[in-house]
Chain A
Amino acid sequence: MTTDLVLFWVPALVALIATLMVITRKNASRALIYLVVSLLAVAVIFFVLGAPFAAALEVVVYAGAIVVLFLFVVMMLNLGRSSVLRETRWLQPGMWAFPFILVFVLAIVMFNVFAGSGDETKGQEVGPKAVGAELFGPYLLAVELAGFLLLAALVGAYHLGRRYLEERREEAG
């Protein structure tokens, strides 16, 4: 029981602190690395709660692919001291007021929802097979729609990239 609690609370705490660091860092690359830590901590929580497939995908897709691309772009832009100064200007104490009000409203709603439900995790492990059966059973429509969306994004990205290449070709003569 105690190890269970440790296994849940330690990653939960890490995730909270890392996420706080993400929004308060002025250096974009530092913030992204904290985002990775936060995602890994959430993956550990998934794993402990009995969802190893979700945990693995969290690491492969979010930490391993999406944030890598963010970091890639940050490195390409080579943001120097000027961007840190700009961030400092943006992150003044006064600008936190409105987000705090929003979070407060959200927190009230969340407490009401969770206080009433009283649900606990069953401690059952949901294996990859079960996830797949669910996705291609009751949630088939959502999976197909997500596929459409991704295809549209792919075609859009190709179109934008092609126009850029054609312009460069014309410039080259």
Chain B
Amino acid sequence: MFGFELNWSYVLIVPLAAGTLLAVMFLQWWERRLLGWWQDRRGPNRVGWFGVLQGVADGIKFITKDDWVPPFGDRVFFVLAPVIVCASMLFVLGVIPFAPDFHIVDVNVALLWFLAMSSLAVYGVLLGGFASNNKYALLGSLRAAAQMVTYEVFMGLSVMGVVIHAGSFSLVDIVNAQADMWYVLPQFLGFVIFLIAGLAESHRLPFDLPEAEHELTAGFHTEYSGMKFALLMCGEYVAVIVTSCLIVLLFFGGWLVPSFLDFLPPLLWFGAKVLFFIHVFVLLRAAIPRPRYDQLMSLGWKILLPLTLLNLLITGAIVGLGAF
């Protein structure tokens, strides 16, 4: 009667999400060490061997900290917001193929699912700031909403070139279509725009205007503390991981490598590529200062949007005329 069937292997999303959150714990330590190294300071190096257990220490701190909910705000939305931020990004993990036949679901709209979930993440930020009933939080979440809605537009458009080449929204099909050539070559413009949009979507430095501490205290999460704050941070890191996965899948051939390099299993190659792009995110954070908010918005609408449309037009013409 219906076109969709339930499969028990879908519950595997639970260990996958838990594993990702565990990875986030070490990732934030590693990021802080790298930032320290690149910015000529030490970074967290006290807990455990080279500070490896810093994540555990932070976890204990977050759990034991007073979990304060502002009495002047909106309690329901305040509690809901971090959950939306983190869960929406974790949901994307379900459609990511890590290696051939190593994925939870292969839907034919996997790419759209990612775009849908990243557009739902806006609600977390928006409600978090709104529920705090605090002017800095409100300003931060207004910025976040405008920024994320703007960059969503050409994040979606920038990957359409890849979709035109591959002829499918399914991530497995997209990777398999890159057997001869990674799409970063014909779609270089699409890749650059997707990277910038991904940065803006996960509102990390240099695009963290929603939480710019020099002007907005801590932006939309000013009132957050304890585990709720930790959940917001987890959401940000998961967004970085997911965006890196998507970059690798869409533009760098997923688990595919040139044949002289396939002595390692595909899963390891995928992991190595994702780690590389996570490092790129960290390096961008360390190296580039924040733009002003109006510069960020006019960069989006006046430069990136026309470029994306041009890229789409040219790609459509080339593929349509059968050059590739």
Contacts and interface: CB of A to CB of B under 8 A. Distances in A.
A96 to B, nearest CB: 26
B141 A75 contact: yes
Most buried by A among B1, B2, B127, B145: B2
Interface residues of A, number: 37
A123 B116 CA distance: 24
B4 A47 contact: yes
B252 interface: no
Interface residues of B, number: 34
Contacts of B29: none
Interface in A1-17: 1, 3-4, 7-8
Interface in B126-147: 126-127, 129-130, 138, 141-142, 145-146
A125 interface: yes
Contact of A53 (B1, B112, B126, B152): B112
> For the complex, would chain B's binding face be called helix, strand, loop or mixed by DSSP majority?
helix
Contacts of A29: 74, 77, 130
A64 interface: yes
Interface string A39-70: 00000000111111101110110011100110
Contacts of B3: 48-51, 121, 123-125
A71 B120 CA distance: 13
A72 B2 contact: no
Contacts of A64: 115-116, 119-120, 122, 152
A71 B131 CA distance: 12
22 contacts: A3-B5, A3-B6, A4-B2, A48-B4, A50-B3, A51-B3, A52-B107, A52-B109, A55-B109, A56-B113, A57-B112, A59-B116, A60-B115, A60-B119, A63-B116, A64-B122, A71-B123, A72-B145, A75-B126, A121-B2, A124-B3, A128-B108
Q: Which 6 A-B pairs have the closest CB atoms?
A: A50-B3, A64-B119, A56-B112, A59-B116, A125-B3, A52-B109
